Structure 1
């Protein structure tokens, strides 16, 4: 029996574009001997697995995407849209792969699980992470998180066999009033921890403070304002990762230890 519960299945065109772009840049995907990627809990239509394949194929034309859903009717409907490089499978956190995929021990380089654990209790997160990570290929990455309905606000955690590694927030800057909006779309492991005394709360408050401090730069562009905000975070001692290339996309990433529950 599949492991997990049926989710609402909400999906939409371009909803996961921010995390797709992130996965396309991951060394675990770019250097994988077998670029197999799982879209776990893709929802009520085949939209997000098809989009994921389209975007990743620009980097690795030989990529294969397997969409896995726990609801049989969703799998039957999505299977009508199967094509070379994209297939669908009934399952849950145990991440079953189709028997036809060459060999029984084949494992994904990346598992994407967006907007799945959001509907679970916080205490279910660690076990679900462990189960999904156990299905990864050596060096593989689980990308788990959530986003809003139109994909303009998103955050996720990269998890490996060594545990959670990084936290990333990704925001559409053109319409951003405050980065605190991401508090509504934090991964399940963090969303209930956005309170005084927790690291994620301190991180978001500091991020908002730097955003407001750099308000004058908005006359040039929201991108310049965001880059200055992220630079301010780094100068303030936050262990911000990467550089301007990724910051200009509306992203900010830090090691998991910087925001992990106290």
Structure 2
């Protein structure tokens, strides 16, 4: 086979590390999967040293779309060999990289913690390659998370380009919202400097969080929701389901159009 596109990552992973992104994917993109003709295909790109995140994605997507098939793609042949015993009907593991060596264009690609080691220009290039490989109405969810998954940020991309940016956190896992900046996608993390939109947004988010401190006695969840409502006065954070509104905010999420921070 041709040499896979990309480099081997550290491969660190663990149970439920990607639970927050999986929960979002299942809630937001279940209609996309269910509306597909035949068996929709999803890819877990760069699942790492353990098969567990690919298996968890498979089980969580099967709960909302029983016809979905999942392929775990990993560039390290040893990791693929270790995962093969866990394959089952609808779940497979193959060696590959950003070229996505799967039998048909996937409707969904989840790629987490795979672009951190690349330069910003390379990250943009791999976004372009992935977009060229998905189905016309497909979606890519690319982001990073902390070692135990308590902080995560991801971008959703379609064939046309980036669509949204989502922040997700455990309420006990941060002191102020800008703590999530360390998990920004590679295409944004070096842009978190004065004068850039993403820096302005995080600054205003911290200010809104501080302004909503009187709601802290009611719990971090209520403070988070009130902060989102206040922030929505100046920033286009999504306020309607399925991407936003209190039903998503209460889970520790905040989604906004990519164009707001591009």
1:239 aligns with 236
- Cα distance between partner residues in 2 of 1:252 and 1:83: 35
Q: Residue 63 of structure 1 is aligned with which of 46, 68, 86? A: 68
- Does residue 42 in structure 1 map to residue 47 in structure 2? yes
> Secondary structure of 1:226's partner?
helix
Q: Residue 137 of structure 1 is aligned with which of 129, 135, 138? A: 135
1:100 aligns with none
Q: Residue 188 of structure 1 is aligned with which of 186, 190, 202? A: 186
- Cα distance between partner residues in 1 of 2:4 and 2:61: 27
CA shift digits 1:73-116 (9 cap, x unpaired): 0000011111122110000000001xxxxxx5x22110001000
2:116 aligns with 118
TM-score of the aligned structures, taking structure 1 as reference length: 0.93
- Cα distance between partner residues in 2 of 1:93 and 1:175: 31
> Secondary structure of 1:119's partner?
coil
Q: Conserved in 1, the CA contact under 8 Å of 2:151 and 2:173?
A: no
Q: Residue 14 of structure 1 is aligned with which of 12, 16, 27? A: 16
- Cα distance between partner residues in 1 of 2:254 and 2:76: 34
Q: Conserved in 2, the CA contact under 8 Å of 1:28 and 1:141?
A: no
Q: Conserved in 1, the CA contact under 8 Å of 2:33 and 2:68?
A: no
CA shift digits 1:166-199 (9 cap, x unpaired): 1110111134321111111110001111100001
1:92 aligns with 97
> Secondary structure of 2:154's partner?
strand
- Cα distance between partner residues in 1 of 2:123 and 2:187: 6
Q: Residue 53 of structure 1 is aligned with which of 49, 52, 58? A: 58
Unaligned 5+ residue runs, structure 1? 98-103
- Cα distance between partner residues in 1 of 2:250 and 2:229: 11
Q: Residue 77 of structure 2 is aligned with which of 72, 78, 89? A: 72
Q: Residue 163 of structure 2 is aligned with which of 155, 158, 165? A: 165
Per the TM alignment, residue 250 of structure 1 is displaced from its structure 2 partner at its CA by 0.7
- Cα distance between partner residues in 1 of 2:123 and 2:180: 19
- Cα distance between partner residues in 1 of 2:32 and 2:134: 11
Q: CA RMSD in A?
A: 1.1
Q: Conserved in 1, the CA contact under 8 Å of 2:51 and 2:86?
A: yes
> Secondary structure of 1:208's partner?
helix
CA shift digits 1:92-148 (9 cap, x unpaired): 000001xxxxxx5x2211000100001111110121011111111121001111000
- Cα distance between partner residues in 1 of 2:188 and 2:90: 34
- Cα distance between partner residues in 1 of 2:181 and 2:96: 30
TM-score of the aligned structures, taking structure 2 as reference length: 0.93
2:206 aligns with 208
